[in-house]
Structure 1
Amino acid sequence: MRMVSSIGMLVLSVIFTLSSCNSENDKVVEEEGNDQIIDRVIESNEYMEFRVSCMALAEKLKSYTSTLSLEEFDELMSNLNNDDYMAELVGKIDVKNELLMVESTKETLLNYADFQQLDASERMNLFVRSSDNALNMMVKTRSEGGAADECERRRNEDYSYASSIYVSAMLACSCATGGIGVCLCAVAASAAYEYAITLADRSFADCLKNAK
């Protein structure tokens, strides 16, 4: 089950980068040539449905992790590349439907002609831009001003970057062809995404304390 470990380590490495670096510096520079194609993919049903299915899996996992103590949650996150631990986790939560939906929408996206025209860097650019767009639609303008706004801006950047890495990692998982081991990689990626969001929230709280 090497795929589980590789995906877990990939996402974890990004998470720890998030905790110490400004995600703005890591964003992929847009290439003008395929901007229109990227925009079409972002607005397509094929991509939106894949993204929604990924987030549905993350929400399902969150419904379980929300019942854990802080120590239990941190233990889970430290075992994302532990195949046996992750297999036991999957046995505790019912995510079969969510995994099937991720797989179905992923295959539809991979067969989408516009998406096929994008290379790896352009796809990452797509994930970053769509995450920024989704966040901009959800976040309301805050009125505190000053340091509080800066704390919010940093958290929003971390949210957006974590989301783009998560969707990218999910694209590498294939439950249909890889068996249960590769399905575990999708759960590990979802858990790592939740951890990234948790770290962003903790950093935001610390930022607000220091701003007072």
Structure 2
Amino acid sequence: MITKKKKYTLYYVMALACGLVASFFIYSCSADGYYSDEIEKNEVTNTRALSSRMINNGSTLIDSIASSDEFWEFEMSSELLADKFHEYTSTLSEEEYDKLMENLNDDDYVEDFMRKANLENELQQLAKAKENLIQHTGFLRLSADERTQLFILYAESNELTKVKLLKTREEGGSTSSCEEQKQAAYRQAKADYDDAVTNCKKGSVPSGCLTQAAARYDRNKRIADRRYENCIKNKV
């Protein structure tokens, strides 16, 4: 009888110990996931706050727009469309790409391209974000120069808050000037793209205007890339 009681007691202790270990393991995993999510959220918040401070150049109106949810939703949406556009066009041959650029003013051609590239969701999201920016901020009160300044400053701050690993070749002279020229061209292309998007009017083919803006942005970045490559060759 004593032996059986000891066995039952031993089993009970073992079961309790296993339960405690399992509970601790589950809690640890949950805590790790929680803290991981919190760290990621904090990184996004800190990045946004840093960019907002960098955009602030003394203009209260520009700063209020730059720090608004509507502006950040607009910028994220514009980047999503640009990325999706580039992802599709990177699969095209040079001839196909050139044909697309030549037919940007052909509404039927552009509309057909939008379907092939499956851009509907990104276009709708950007169109909505653009309207929210215009309706719920003081964006329309900005002059043309101030709008360009806002977009340029955003492009600069966004570039500096991203982690980049730039390989700079030193053979035959430094190529840092080539990189600087390319980044400057990228910033201008992004500002021109955002400005073109905000100038798209509501109409029968609003998505066509947004697609044209994304196409010109992609083309301008390609031109910057080619000039960068030529600059590198001249440095070697």
Q: TM-score range by the shorter chain?
A: 0.7 to 0.9
Is 2:81–2:119's contact at 8 Å kept on the other side of the alignment? yes
Q: What is the CA deviation profile of residues 41-95 of structure 1, one whole-angstrom value per residue up to 9, with x for unaligned ones? A: 2222211110110111111112211110122112212222222321221231222
Which one of the candidate residues 118, 143, 148 is aligned to 2:142?
Answer: 118
Is 2:65–2:137's contact at 8 Å kept on the other side of the alignment? no
Equivalent in the alignment of 2:78: 54
Gaps of 5+ in 1: 1-31
Equivalent in the alignment of 2:182: 155
Whole-angstrom distance in 2 between the partners of 1:190 and 1:73: 13
Equivalent in the alignment of 2:194: 167
For the aligned residue pairs, the C-alpha RMSD in angstroms reads: 2.0
Q: Does 1:185 align with 2:212?
A: no
Q: Does 1:83 align with 2:107?
A: yes
Is 1:142–1:149's contact at 8 Å kept on the other side of the alignment? no
Q: What is the CA deviation profile of residues 3-39 of structure 1, one whole-angstrom value per residue up to 9, with x for unaligned ones? A: xxxxxxxxxxxxxxxxxxxxxxxxxxxxx7x623212
Q: Structure 1 vs Structure 2: percent identity of aligned residues?
A: 34
Range with bigger deviation, 105-114 or 151-160: 105-114
Is 2:114–2:120's contact at 8 Å kept on the other side of the alignment? no
Which structure has more RCO (C-alpha within 8 Å, separation ≥ 6)?
Answer: 1
Could you tell me the TM-score, scaled by structure 2's length? Answer: 0.69
Gaps of 5+ in 2: 1-56
Could you tell me the TM-score, scaled by structure 1's length? Answer: 0.76
Greater Rg over alpha carbons, structure: 2
Whole-angstrom distance in 2 between the partners of 1:114 and 1:53: 19
Counterpart residue identity of residue 61, structure 1: F
Deviation at 1:140?
5.0
Range with bigger deviation, 164-173 or 128-137: 128-137
Aligned length: 177
Equivalent in the alignment of 1:95: 119
Deviation at 1:96?
1.6
Is 2:78–2:194's contact at 8 Å kept on the other side of the alignment? yes
Whole-angstrom distance in 1 between the partners of 2:191 and 2:229: 23
Range with bigger deviation, 120-129 or 141-150: 141-150
Counterpart residue identity of residue 173, structure 1: C
